[in-house]
Amino acid sequence: MSDASGKSRRPASRGIENDGGLAVRAAAARALVPVITGKGSLTGLDDHQVVARDRALFKALCYGVCRTLPRLEALAGKLLVKPFKARDADVQALLLLGIHQLLYLRVPAHAAVGETAGAARLIGKEWATRVLNGCLRRLQRESSALQAEVDRDPTVALLHPEWLLKALRQAWPDDWRALAEANNVPGPMTLRVNRRHGDREAYLGRLTAAGLEGRLCTHAPDGITLESPCDVFELPGFDAGHVSVQDEAAQLATVLLGPTLAPRPGARVLDACCAPGGKTAHLLEVFDIDMHAVDSDAERLARVEGALERLGLQARLAHGDATARDWWDGTPFEAILLDAPCSGSGVIRRHPDIKRLRRPSDITALAALQARLLDNLWPLLRPGGTLLYATCSVLPEENSEQIAAFLSRTPDAESTTPRDVAWGRPAGAGRQLLPEADSHDGFFYARLRKT
Ligand SMILES: C[S@@+](CC[C@H](N)C(=O)[O-])C[C@H]1O[C@@H](n2cnc3c(N)ncnc32)[C@H](O)[C@@H]1O
């Protein structure tokens, strides 16, 4: 379906019967089981068999339930006399879907109740139809009282797990509430116009002609934010590589590497954690460089290949571990982009399953991996070269504290992160963007120079 930066992939409708809305709810319940049991993410939604006309509802249900999960679960706890058995996580998912529709979606109440309860038959658990019907009807009757009761718990009202709210409050004492609220609203769809095919002003004209409304991004010079999201195949010239989907904050990597790369055509550049290739592609659209792009995940690396093919760009791709050097030919790089694996705490609004799947111990493990990546890659930079460290996290352990520790153990590193920019805020030796409604995601950048 919409493969943000990857190769075009239009989903095939595989002729599944639409069962009056039951099938889409059963499919959503199946897709949600891994998330609600804490065992897997929402990825692979396109692999679920849903008729074309129900796909938007299917995604809205899956993402919506993940986004509002703490509240849905608290309400389910009030509605059920006793919890479902672990093997009935799919029935639990149907209950959460029903609650979500009643409270958050403009689905007629009779469909939210009847078709969700009826979907129990399609998952082979007809016995659950009555229970689901009963719970959802009770919610209709007692909605305000039950909601007020569960909302007394701030983790329920703010839709975040307790450890994460605590971490946000500690990191951003003045902004944590706005930050949590921003995480609960879907982010806008932002485009990156491929400069090799014309500028964004011209592309905005093409969008208007196609009946799509957009506005120029404030900080990213190639960015356009759409007024409402659409399928990528509706975007003029998408197949021909004229445009890609990429958040405004992510587009700033190219701006930050501009002073190093613009004056040096042919510069050797390493993108050390490149997949799915959004920043690799943007750098290649803007600069004439010799790009080496590495990622440890072969499947994700294949997406980089697809993205570059669609955009008509070239890089040397390597499947490798950036905490090792067996993929390196020994020639130093002018610039290194380390867009490190991170908690994703700045992009929760796009990946709401993060709230369920991340654990506090992950942050410690990720910070240790980021430190190893920094230490391993630094010697690959030529003196005078630039390393840009980036994460889509809002947690200091992965960002300002990570870079402070690196600078203190690396005598030939100095920060050149700009201070006179209109985006983000200073965060130690780097700059932090917090997610903003209708604008960019949460992101961190630190630009370091080898002295
Ligand atoms: C934040 S994503 C990169 C996003 C990418 N830069 C973009 O703009 O599209 C982090 C990537 O790091 C990769 N990764 C994780 N550990 C790695 C390692 N040890 N070596 C190389 N890549 C790694 C992951 O597979 C993932 O694709």
Residue 108 alpha carbon to ligand 1 centre in Å: 42
CATH of the domain at 117: 1.10.940.10
**Would 407 be classed as within a structural domain?**
yes
Residue 308, in any domain of the structure: yes
Say yes or no: 305 and 426 in one domain.
Answer: yes
Which atom of ligand 1 approaches the CA of 276 most closely?
9
Q: State whether 386 and 261 are in the same domain.
A: yes
How far does the centroid of ligand 1 lie from the alpha carbon of residue 297, in Å?
A: 8
How much distance in Å is there from the Cα of 272 to the middle of ligand 1? Answer: 7
Ligand 1 centre from 230 Cα, in Å? 27
Residue 283, ligand 1, Cβ within 6 A: no
pLDDT value of residue 49: 81
Residues 306 and 412 in one domain: yes
Same domain, 146 and 274: no
Q: Are residues 255 and 133 in the same domain?
A: no
Residue 327 has what pLDDT?
98
* Residues 292, 436 share a domain: yes
State residue 191's pLDDT score.
Answer: 98
Rounded to two decimals, what is the model's pTM? 0.93
With a 6 Å cutoff on the Cβ, whether 362 touches ligand 1 is no
* pLDDT computed for residue 362 by the predictor: 97
User: Is-catalytic flag, 392?
Assistant: yes
With respect to residue 205, please indicate whether it lies within any of the assigned structural domains.
no
Residue 222 lies in a domain: no
Longest dimension (CA), the chain: 70
Q: Write a three-state SS string for the chain.
A: CCCCCCCCCCCCCCCCCCCCCHHHHHHHHHHHHHHHCCCCCCCCHHHCCCCHHHHHHHHHHHHHHHHHHHHHHHHHHHHCCCCCCHHHHHHHHHHHHHHHHHHHCCCCHHHHHHHHHHHHHHCCCCCHHHHHHHHHHHHHHHHHHHHHHHCCCHHHHCCCCHHHHHHHHHHCCCCHHHHHHHHCCCCCCEEEECHHHCCHHHHHHHHHHCCCCEEECCCCCCEEEECCCCCHHHCCCCCCCCEEECCHHHHHHHHHHHHHHCCCCCCEEEECCCCCCHHHHHHHHHCCCEEEEEECCHHHHHHHHHHHHHHCCCCEEEECCCCCCCCCCCCCEEEEEEECCCCCCCCCCCCCCHHHHCCHHHHHHHHHHHHHHHHHHHHHEEEEEEEEEEECCCCHHHCHHHHHHHHHHCCCEEECCCCCCCCCEEECCEEEECCCCCCCCCEEEEEEEEC
Identify the pLDDT of residue 52.
86
Same domain, 281 and 402: yes
Of 7, 274, 387, which is best to mutate to test ligand 1, by the most ligand atoms within 8 angstroms of its C-beta? 274
pLDDT recorded at residue 11? 37
Q: Are residues 271 and 416 in the same domain?
A: yes
Containing domain of residue 60, as a range?
Answer: 22-154
Contact present, 442 and 392 (Cβ < 8 Å):
yes
- 446 and 312 assigned to the same domain: yes
138 found inside a domain = yes
Looking at the fold, whether 308 and 437 belong to one and the same domain comes out as yes
Confidence at residue 2, expressed as pLDDT on a 0 to 100 scale: 36
Atom in ligand 1 nearest the alpha carbon of residue 372: 19
Ligand 1 atom 1: the closest Cα is on which residue?
Answer: 341
The identity of residue 75, as a single letter, is L
Query: What confidence score (pLDDT) does residue 48 get?
Result: 80
CB 254 within 8 A of CB 286: yes
Asked if residue 352 is part of any domain, the answer here is yes
Structural domain contains residue 53? yes
181: in domain: no
- Identity of residue 220: A
Of 123, 154, 185, the last residue of a domain is: 154
Same-domain check for residues 402 and 266: yes
278 lines ligand 1 (CB under 6 A): yes
294: Cβ below 6 Å to ligand 1? yes
Determine whether the shortest distance from the Cβ of 372 to ligand 1 is under 6 A: no
Atom of ligand 1 minimally distant from the CA of 304: 9
> How many domains does the structure of the chain reveal?
2
Residue 294 backbone dihedrals phi, psi, to 5 degrees: -125, 145
Segment 317-361, tens digit of pLDDT: 999 999 999 999 999 999 999 999 999 999 999 999 999 999 999
CA distance 237 to 189: 17
Residue 43 has what pLDDT? 80
Is residue 276 lining ligand 1, measured as CB closer than 6 Å?
A: yes
Q: What is the CATH number of the domain that holds 342?
A: 3.40.50.150
Calpha distance 89→73 (Å, rounded): 12
295 Cβ below 6 A of ligand 1? yes
Among candidate residues 125, 154, 183, the one where a domain is terminated: 154
Predicted confidence at residue 45, as pLDDT, reads 80
Rounded distance from Cα 356 to ligand 1 centre (Å): 21
Answer with the one of 110, 131, 154 that is the final residue of a domain.
Answer: 154
- What sign does the dihedral 99-104-109-114 (CA atoms) show? negative
Full pLDDT tens readout for the chain, 451 residues: 333 333 333 333 333 344 779 999 999 999 999 999 999 998 878 778 888 889 999 999 999 999 999 999 999 999 999 999 999 999 999 999 999 999 999 999 999 999 999 999 999 999 999 999 999 999 999 999 999 999 999 999 999 999 999 999 999 999 999 999 999 999 999 999 999 999 999 999 999 999 999 999 999 999 999 999 999 999 999 999 999 999 999 999 999 999 999 999 999 999 999 999 999 999 999 999 999 999 999 999 999 999 999 999 999 999 999 999 999 999 999 999 999 999 999 999 999 999 999 999 999 999 999 999 999 999 999 999 999 999 999 999 999 999 999 999 999 999 999 999 999 999 999 999 999 999 999 999 999 999 9
